[in-house]
Amino acid sequence: MVSPGKIIMKKINLNINKRTNMITTLALFSALSITLSILESIIPTANILPPGAKLGLSNIITMFICGTFGLLPALIIATVKSFFVLSLRGPTAFLMSFFGGICSICMIWVLTKKPKKQLSFIFISIVGAISHNLVQLLVSSFLIGKSIFFYIPVLILAAVFTGSITGTLLKVISPALSKVPYSLN
């Protein structure tokens, strides 16, 4: 007969292992998201994108996590990345990254929950990029005034371009990411 103490210890170890697995998985994808963010700052885009626009490579990770694990893990990764942005670029960049990221992930999550029709990675990425840019403009308007809204058409066009790139990249690397042994269970 197994003593109750051994059963309790096994249950405690199982809970610790699940929690450790979840933390490790989130840390791994957070690090990958931050790495892609650093990489995109190295890539010259001056002749391609308007001032202030970025490719959004780290959104590949948050889209994948949102579609694979759900809303909360994606929000955690976006928050971790935003605090990294705070440490490198300051509070204004943090506010724009945080609120843009949260809005974008929520939009992506809603679109991935469409039960009847599977939407393409590219479409979901474009919608995420547009929502990210619009929320960043809203944050900017609180900081520097309403005159910033003239930039909306430019950032929407940039979002279509960058969202197409990140959606295509996710489509290409998604099979490889799905083979990596990880779990949040």
Give the tens place of pLDDT for each residue, 66-96: 988 889 999 999 999 999 999 988 999 899 9
d(CA 92, CA 97): 9
Residues with Cβ within 8 Å of 104's Cβ and at least 6 positions away in sequence, in order, are 59, 62, 78, 128, 129, 131, 132, 135
Q: How far are the Cα atoms of 1, 7, 9, 11 from residue 4, in angstroms, in the given order?
A: 9, 5, 9, 11
For 36-51, how does the pLDDT look when each residue is reduced to its tens digit (9 = 90+)? Answer: 988 988 887 767 777 7
pLDDT for 2 beyond 70: no
- Residue 32's H or E segment, with its range, is helix 4-42
Q: Stretch 142-160: mean pLDDT, rounded?
A: 88
Query: Which residue ranges form the domains of the chain, and what is each CATH number?
Result: 4-179 (1.10.1760.20)
Q: Residue 121's closest CA among 165, 79, 85? A: 165
Q: What is the pLDDT of residue 7?
A: 47
pTM: 0.83
Q: Stretch 164-182: mean pLDDT, rounded?
A: 85
d(CA 127, CA 159): 8
d(CA 178, CA 121): 15
Q: Residue 85's closest CA among 45, 146, 123, 139? A: 139
Tokens 């058409």, residue?
153
